[in-house]
Amino acid sequence: GAVVSQHPSWVICKSGTSVKIECRSLDFQATTMFWYRQFPKQSLMLMATSNEGSKATYEQGVEKDKFLINHASLTLSTLTVTSAHPEDSSFYICSATPWRTSGGAINTGELFFGEGSRLTVL
């Protein structure tokens, strides 16, 4: 089945540094990917919608200059947490819906999630 790979799965960094998280669709193209943040024992919160070849759409309250999103190809979106602070420590996860699979199917509507990235900022 379709797979979304997210890397790194966990990262520890010092306050003030930047961290890049990659979300890659391995066997399908995705014109849109979604980035979520999840705090302990809470549900997923959509941060932004990553659009291939154009600017990301951020949800209200999410700082676009702090959470930089780049969707440079149909299979890769990156989230960069800039000047990270301890309050940015969270579980970040991406999702993608196949626009076109390796078998040729178009816009199946199915949803695939990355494995998630646990960020700890010291």
Residues that bind another protein (CB under 8 A): 31-32, 34, 38, 42-44, 46, 49, 91, 93, 95, 97, 99, 107, 109-113, 115-116, 118
Nearer to another protein, 83 or 115 (CB): 115
| Least Cβ distance, residue 43 to another protein (angstroms) | 5
Task: Collect all residues with Cβ–Cβ distance below 8 Å to 61 and sequence separation of at least 6.
Answer: none
Give the span between the Cα atoms of 79 and 65, in whole angstroms: 11
DSSP-assigned beta bridge partners for residue 19: 81
| Least Cβ distance, residue 27 to another protein (angstroms) | 16
| Least Cβ distance, residue 104 to another protein (angstroms) | 16
Give the span between the Cα atoms of 73 and 81, in whole angstroms: 20
Nearer to another protein, 83 or 93 (CB): 93
